[in-house]
């Protein structure tokens, strides 16, 4: 049936089509069933909502996601038909039943995800099956292949292309800008794409955005990297791994992160970006994502899969049992990063130490430095100001300004020790939750500033941390959550 497109500027995060109730009846589709919408530019599957008013019978309201995808405009015509079950739905069912999937079946699932032929609920079924029934290394490599093949490539080929990645789960821990600055100062090419916060207080992209732009097109990124041999951009809208981006949207709903998808997500993005040498930081320990045993097992899988795809991978199991750095939140973390790069006296030494470790390992992996010499080289690049200069170049090429005045949010509250003792635990998940309650990441100046780390001795009434918020309401909420969660244990 030919229907006329009506645009309302509707954004739904997924394809949505609204039909007149009578039109839906004619097409023999019911609400929540699928239709296929075709234009000259392609086809897309959408679930159907129906409406009694608002629309004429020969019209269809399409969400902006569909309008962009099919290159439509108000008043254009599309061909609309009832659509049956997606081609790959039986394969998801097979995975739920515990069967191993072939290359073709995994390819079909990923391709249906990218072309919007599966609903979010069907993707949730796939994620649950990956999680509970696990996937073999063979299946994971098919998954990586399919994700890469349905995405764009960054297409950077000059120089020694390297990257670093952290599995996350540790509050603060903003090593990326420091490692990238040191290693690109050493001559490596690092086209670093990062994410925004999903469940944490800040992602690297949120932190960089406090002083520079992070959203660029693939071509712009290529120019930046050509000029300064590194970048610190947001990877979200580049389409390097669109299937993975959609799967992550569904994983978020229940904070699930199946190992197969974690491996595929990270490796597919490195392959699409053209990286050949990759350091992966796997923080382990209490309140981190993994135990040390799990972390080592995961590391082995990264290496095995890396080999299959011609990547040199070095995984490093690090201590992730407490936050790293002092600031938690976009601006507070950027202040930490700058103070390390500028070698301020009051810089957070735990953050510096970890960044140097990762930079050292990356210099070794790429052959830029030999084992006994690498730490010296990395430290010299940091001390001499070479890394700081490189950071300034990167920020400038991303239309930013390292001298931008950055201040924590207006309202603050000191949290004091209730007794004398030694700090024995600072829980990452709880710290993240409190920083989010304070307004992170949407208020970039909100967050926490930690004065203490594990093993610090404290006296009663010493300030342990400060909470910053844009409004008194959020400050109160964060304080209340702090009291309820009690993230810091003193013994």
Name the residues that contact its own copies, by CB under 8 A: 8-14, 16, 18, 21, 28, 30-32, 49-54, 63, 89, 92-93, 96, 98, 119-125, 127-129, 131-133, 249-250, 253-256, 442
Query: Nearer Cβ to its own copies, position 96 or 466?
Result: 96
Closer to its own copies by Cβ: residue 168 or 177: 168
Positive or negative, the CA dihedral 63, 67, 70, 73 is: positive
Q: Least Å distance between CB 288 and its own copies?
A: 17
Please report, for residues 13, 40, 46, 135, 273, the alpha-carbon distance to residue 16 in angstroms, rounded to integers and kept in the order given: 9, 19, 6, 32, 31
Instruction: Tell me the C-alpha to C-alpha distance, in Å, between residue 408 and each of 330, 334, 447, 473.
Output: 10, 11, 8, 16
Residue 161 or 431 having the CB closest to its own copies: 431
In the complex with its own copies, the residue whose CB is nearer, 247 or 464, is 247
* Shortest distance in whole angstroms from residue 417 CB to its own copies: 29
Strands (E), 126-276: 162-166, 190-194, 230-234
Using alpha carbons, select from 114, 86, 113, 109 the residue that is nearest to residue 99.
109
Nearer to its own copies, 40 or 255 (CB): 255
- H helices of 70-102, in order, are 89-96
* Residue 258 token pair: 């199946």
H or E element at residue 244: helix 242-253
Quick one: 13 or 187, whose CB is closer to its own copies? 13
Residue carrying structure tokens 């938690």: 328
Residue labelled with tokens 């909502």: 49
What is the per-residue burial (b if ≥16 Cβ within 10 Å, else e) of 340-365?
bbeeeeebbebbbebbbbbbbbbbbb
Backbone angles phi, psi at 356, to 5 degrees: -65, -40
Other C-beta atoms closer than 10 Å to the C-beta of 30 total 11
Minimum CB separation from its own copies for residue 312, in Å?
A: 34
Least separation, in Å, of the C-beta of 155 and its own copies?
Answer: 31
CB of 434 to its own copies, least distance (A): 14
Q: Is 49 a catalytic residue?
A: no
Residues 442 and 201: their CA atoms lie apart, in Å, by 9
Helix residue ranges per DSSP H, 366-427: 371-383, 386-397
- The residue among 22 and 226 lying less far from its own copies, judged by its C-beta, is 22
Sign of the torsion formed by the C-alpha atoms of 102, 105, 111 and 116 = negative
Closest to 247 in 3D by CA, of 131, 123, 133:
123
Cβ of 111: how many Cβ atoms within 10 Å?
A: 17
Give me the residues paired with residue 328 across strands.
448
Q: What does residue 447 show for φ and ψ, rounded to 5 degrees?
A: 145, -160
Q: Structure tokens of 458?
A: 């404290």
**Nearer to its own copies by C-beta: 128 or 218?**
128
The SS3 call for residue 258 is coil
Task: State the nearest-atom distance from the C-beta of 254 to its own copies, in Å.
Answer: 5
* Closer residue to its own copies (CB): 122 or 139: 122
Out of 163, 206, 257, 350, the active site residue is 257
What span, in angstroms and rounded, lies between the C-alpha atoms of 359 and 455?
26
Give the C-alpha separation, 30 to 21, whole Å.
9
Which one, of 295, 334, 297, 338, lies nearest residue 318 by Cα? 295
Contact 359, 183 (CB under 8 A): yes
Residues 6 or more apart whose CB falls under 8 angstroms from that of 99 comprise: none
Residue count of the chain: 491
23 or 318: CB nearest its own copies: 23
Q: State the catalytic residues.
A: 257
């Amino acid at each position: 049936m030919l229907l006329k497109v009506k645009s309302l500027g509707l954004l739904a995060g997924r394809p949505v089509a609204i039909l007149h109730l009578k039109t839906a009846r004619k097409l023999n589709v019911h609400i929540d069933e699928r239709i296929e919408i075709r234009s000259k530019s392609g086809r897309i599957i959408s679930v159907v909502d129906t409406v009694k008013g608002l629309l004429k019978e020969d019209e269809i309201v399409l969400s902006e996601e569909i309008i962009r995808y099919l290159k439509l405009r108000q008043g254009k015509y599309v061909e609309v038909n009832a659509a049956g079950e997606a081609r790959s739905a039986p394969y998801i069912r097979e995975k739920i039943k515990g069967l191993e999937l072939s290359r073709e079946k995994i390819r079909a699932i990923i391709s249906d995800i990218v072309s919007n032929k599966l609903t979010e609920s069907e993707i949730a079924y796939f994620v649950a099956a990956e999680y509970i029934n696990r996937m073999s290394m063979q299946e994971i490599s098919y998954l990586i292949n399919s994700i890469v093949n349905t995405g764009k490539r960054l297409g950077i080929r000059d120089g020694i292309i390297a990257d670093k990645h952290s599995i996350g789960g540790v509050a603060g821990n903003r090593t990326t800008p420091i490692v990238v600055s040191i290693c690109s100062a050493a001559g490596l090419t690092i086209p670093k794409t990062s994410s925004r916060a999903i469940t944490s207080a800040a992602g690297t992209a949120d932190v960089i955005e406090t002083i520079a732009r992070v959203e660029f097109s693939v071509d712009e990124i290529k120019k930046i990297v050509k000029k300064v041999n590194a970048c610190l951009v947001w990877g979200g809208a580049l389409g390097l791994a669109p299937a993975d981006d959609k799967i992550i949207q569904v994983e978020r709903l229940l904070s699930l992160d199946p190992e197969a998808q974690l491996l595929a997500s990270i490796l597919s993005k490195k392959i699409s970006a053209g990286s050949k040498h990759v350091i992966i930081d796997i923080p382990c320990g209490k309140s981190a994502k993994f135990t040390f045993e799990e972390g080592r097992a995961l590391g082995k899988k990264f290496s095995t899969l890396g080999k299959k795809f011609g990547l040199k991978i070095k995984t490093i199991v690090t201590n992730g049992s407490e936050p790293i750095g002092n600031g938690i939140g976009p601006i507070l973390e950027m202040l930490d990063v700058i103070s390390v790069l500028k070698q301020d006296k009051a810089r957070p030494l735990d953050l510096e130490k970890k960044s140097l470790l990762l930079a050292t390992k990356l210099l070794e992996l790429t052959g830029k430095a030999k084992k006994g010499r690498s730490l010296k080289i990395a430290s010299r690049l940091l001390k001499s100001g070479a890394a700081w200069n490189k950071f300034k170049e990167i920020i400038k090429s991303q239309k930013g300004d390292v001298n931008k005045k950055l201040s924590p949010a207006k309202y603050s509250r000191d949290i004091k020790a209730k007794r004398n003792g030694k700090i024995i635990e600072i829980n990452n998940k709880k710290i993240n939750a409190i920083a989010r309650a304070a307004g992170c990441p949407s208020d970039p100046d909100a967050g926490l500033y930690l004065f203490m780390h594990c093993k610090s001795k404290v006296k009663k009434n010493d300030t342990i941390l400060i909470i910053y918020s844009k409004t008194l309401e959020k400050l109160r909420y964060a304080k209340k959550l702090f009291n309820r969660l009690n993230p810091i244990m003193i013994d």
